[in-house]
Chain A
Amino acid sequence: MIENEKRFVVIFIVILVISNVFFAYKFFSFSKELETIKSNQVKVELNQKIINFASMFIKKVLQAEKEVDFETRLSLENAVRDLKDEEVMAEWQNFTASKTEADAQNSVKKLLGILITKIQK
């Protein structure tokens, strides 16, 4: 009778260990998957932000027919800050601080180039 109990306990422990291993494996594999999904999500969000800013820049600045108003500038400023990218920020500041037409053109070229390269595959 006691032997039976012992046997039962051993089997129970073995089952627990196996299930532990199984769930641990599942946990790590799902964690890994989750990490990948998260990083992809971050990538997608960042790409979306870049595209939004680039689109806004082209629409509101490059295609502007009159002076860019305060609200639009605020939106642009927020959008560029939202990217949290120092390179883009620096080039944007270069652009807004341009003193000559050539500087502005140069900054536009650089800014668009940077934005395109920032889009991750």
Chain B
Amino acid sequence: MLEKKSRSKLILFRFFIVVLLLFFGTKLVFASETNGIIDGNYKYAWGENIGWINFGCDNCNVNVTDDGLSGYAWSTQYGWINLDPTTSGVQNNGQGLLSGYAWSPNLGWINFNGVTISSNGYFLGYATIESDSSQINFNCTNADSCSGADFKVKTDWKPASARQSGGSGAGGSGFPVPPNPPPVVPPTIPPVVPPTIVNVVVDNISETINSISDSFFNLFQPQNKPENTIVEIPKIAPLSLKVLWNLLPRKAIKEFVFAPLPYEVRVLASKFPELDRTLKSVGIKRLTDMSKLSGVTLNLPGLTELTNTLRNVGAERLAGVDKLNSVNFDIPGLSNLDEKMVNNIGVNIGTGKISLIKGLPLTKFSLLEKKNLPSEFVFARTNGELIDLNVAMSVSEKGEVTQKISSLPGKTLRFVVKPISKARSVTGYFIFKSATPKITQNQIPRSSLTASALFSMSGLVEKTSKSVPVENKLVLSSFEYTDLDHDGIYTADVVSPSVPGEYEVITVIDYLDPVLGARQMRMITVIDPEGYVFEKNNGKETRIPSAIISLYSLNNLTKKYELWVAKDYQQENPQITDVRGTYSFLVPEGSYYFQIEAPGYDFYQGKAFVVVEGSGIHQNIELKSSRGWFSVFDWKTVLLIVVLLLLVYNLYRNTLRDKLLKFSNK
């Protein structure tokens, strides 16, 4: 029994010894005084020109032995520093006195003469970068700068004279050893395996204990403890911060900022000096300036051509209009005006300015003017060429230049185009784009044939190497342009679609010259909905047919409104609304108002409105019933009221009769 007890005591004692060895032997195992590593807390050296150098980074693997240093140090600015290059290396004399060179691809040789390792493992002194003779300080105590930045490099390697054990991690046998011990084991013998296993086990145990203790203590500590990071700033600025270079790519910026105007606009500006001058004077010189055109109304060259001429003679104001007497203008069509056109000119002279002379039929153009007519422009006119359809040019957000004309449903449009050379055929296509009936807004109005020509050019003349891909679109109709009088100007009369919406007119000129090939011009045509006359019944609109609608225009000479002479524009005035209550007027610019008469409705006289450019009028006009509040009662209601009244009267009569009978009986 006693033997058993003593045996168990022995086992317990042995276990205790093993535990002690595990805990106290750990340090002894790691504390390799002959093959040291860098302490994780003290691993930074300071280069006066290169900033912090890390000797204990993850992949540095710096080892300090009696023979020298191996592994790498890391500089944020200059990268890796090899402590053991093939042609040199940092040597150790075994007493901590370092010498030799380390190598950095970016810094060159670094001389370690002057660096020592103290008896407690601290690096002291300075290394020197040979390329600029700057120094690397291994310990803040060297320059008494620890109050500013506490940096040191420390290893667990110890100089031979300072070692207390055998130095090989033998577990602290306690036996004294000579200062310079010879290698205990021959190099051919493979490393002993068991200590490695012990290392791993101890490592795992200590890590686990550490993590548990950490998590336990973290319970009582505030979360998100701010980390103290060392900001590594070298004293000398890196090249990128020395203002030696252009940090922004000049070429790319220049290309962006100074990109020229779109091709279409440049071509226009080269052909029309007035536009060029206008663009330059308002500062539109490059692509980035195009945004200035958004929503801006330009004074268009066709108009400018006239007004400039007038301005030259000082006749831009009405006061100076007398100066125009007996003066011949060199403006297309003006030289051979007939009486009617002269009258039109008179009508078009306004109070503030001289407005456009419009409505000059193509046949009135002289041969010279026809010759000077810009080529490859599609002009849109209507009502026997008396009205030039206004075209809006707009610049989209993407910088695309689009142009639109607006018309009313069922109107005959005349398209005019002049090819630059003899053409085999000129074909037009009416293509459906969108069914959305939207009222057009003209960003850039255009008033004349010449002006129309100007903007119809934008983006329209594009050479097509292959067949024009209109086949892929919803082609409503195609039409042929003809040149009956062989003057080189092709015309086509087309009836605009009856359904409001957005359409595209593509004109394709097939040239005889194979070099020119086929060229196409595009133009958006918006068919605005017609105006209508209506009355409101319980919030709903009821169209009023057979209403007589008269349009009055302001005569600038007499300063009075007169019935608009629609006959001159191949229209009717007054008009009678159809079963849908619709009407349509296509008028030149001016001031107008409506008068409407319809049986059963109050006489309507609208407010005056201004039409800036020749365009359709599509106001929806509400009429009020002439019966006033009586209009609430229809014949059914009246009949019902009458029946009710009769019933009441009958009741009254009966009551009266009963009373009389009673009275007579008494």
Which residues on the B side are within 8 Å of A77 (C-beta)?
Answer: 231-233
Which residues on the A side are within 8 Å of B77 (C-beta)?
Answer: 96-97
Among A61-86, those with CB < 8 Å from B are 61-62, 64-70, 73-74, 77-78, 81
Complex Cα distance A81/B240, Å? 19
- State whether the Cβ of B14 lies closer than 8 Å to any Cβ in chain A: no
Complex Cα distance A68/B236, Å? 10
Q: Is the CB of A105 within 8 A of B247?
A: yes
Which residues on the B side are within 8 Å of A64 (C-beta)?
Answer: 241, 243
Minimum Cβ distance to chain B for residue A102 (Å): 9
Mark each residue of chain B from 490 to 509: 1 if its CB lies under 8 Å from any CB of chain A, else 0.
00000000000000000000
Q: Is the CB of B229 within 8 A of A70?
A: no
Complex Cα distance A109/B256, Å? 15
Complex Cα distance A101/B229, Å? 30
- State whether the Cβ of B340 lies closer than 8 Å to any Cβ in chain A: no
If the complex has contacts A74-B233, A81-B229, are A62 and B248 also in contact, measured as CB distance less than 8 A? yes
Interface of B is mostly: loop
Q: Is the CB of B249 within 8 A of A93?
A: no
Q: Is the CB of A105 within 8 A of B237?
A: no
Closest 3 CB pairs of A and B: A101-B245, A68-B241, A98-B240
Q: Is the CB of A81 within 8 A of B239?
A: no
- State whether the Cβ of B242 lies closer than 8 Å to any Cβ in chain A: yes
Which residues on the A side are within 8 Å of B235 (C-beta)?
Answer: 70
Q: Is the CB of B247 within 8 A of A93?
A: no
Mark each residue of chain B from 372 to 413: 1 if its CB lies under 8 Å from any CB of chain A, else 0.
000000000000000000000000000000000000000000
- State whether the Cβ of B211 lies closer than 8 Å to any Cβ in chain A: no
9 contacts across the A-B interface (CB closer than 8 A)? A66-B243, A70-B233, A70-B237, A77-B233, A95-B240, A98-B239, A99-B239, A105-B245, A105-B247
Q: Is the CB of A98 within 8 A of B238?
A: yes
Which residues on the A side are within 8 Å of B229 (C-beta)?
Answer: 81
Q: Is the CB of A104 within 8 A of B243?
A: no
Partner of A104, one of B231, B232, B245: B245
Q: Is the CB of B243 within 8 A of A67?
A: yes
Minimum Cβ distance to chain B for residue A66 (Å): 6
Minimum Cβ distance to chain A for residue B380 (Å): 46
If the complex has contacts A74-B231, A74-B233, A81-B229, are A96 and B249 also in contact, measured as CB distance less than 8 A? no
- State whether the Cβ of B246 lies closer than 8 Å to any Cβ in chain A: yes
- State whether the Cβ of B76 lies closer than 8 Å to any Cβ in chain A: yes
Complex Cα distance A56/B239, Å? 18
Q: Is the CB of B248 within 8 A of A65?
A: no
